[in-house]
Amino acid sequence: MKPRAVPRSEYLIDHHQVIFDPGAGWQCVCAEFTTTDDCRHVRESQGQHAAQAVIANRMRSQRSGHGLERA
């Protein structure tokens, strides 16, 4: 069996732990997130999470012999 890419769900951005839970969404421990439900740590983690999904899709595509898919 080939190993599968596991979507990352925890990030460490500037010493702040950011967690993505598909059922609950994004969470950060910083004061800005606590007051606004958004912060730069979450936005950076969202970008990393999206990039990981693109890479995983390309890897699956290459393994299946279909070439690269455009994101």
pLDDT-derived band at 3 (thresholds 50, 70, 90) equals low
Instruction: Note the pLDDT tens digit of each residue in 30-45.
Output: 999 999 999 999 999 9
Residue whose tokens read 């993505």 = 20
Whether residue 15 lies inside any domain: the answer is yes
Distance CA 67, CA 38 (A): 37
Whether residue 50 lies inside any domain: the answer is yes
Q: Based on the structure, what is the number of domains in the chain? A: 1
Whether residue 52 lies inside any domain: the answer is yes
Whether residue 23 lies inside any domain: the answer is yes
Instruction: Note the pLDDT tens digit of each residue in 44-62.
Output: 999 999 998 899 899 988 8
Distance CA 35, CA 9 (A): 22
Label residues 25-44 b or e (16+ Cβ within 10 Å = b): ebbbebeebeeeeebebbee
The whole-model pTM stands at 0.71
Enclosing domain of residue 16:
10-64
Whether residue 1 lies inside any domain: the answer is no
Whether residue 70 lies inside any domain: the answer is no
Whether residue 2 lies inside any domain: the answer is no
pLDDT value at position 63? 79
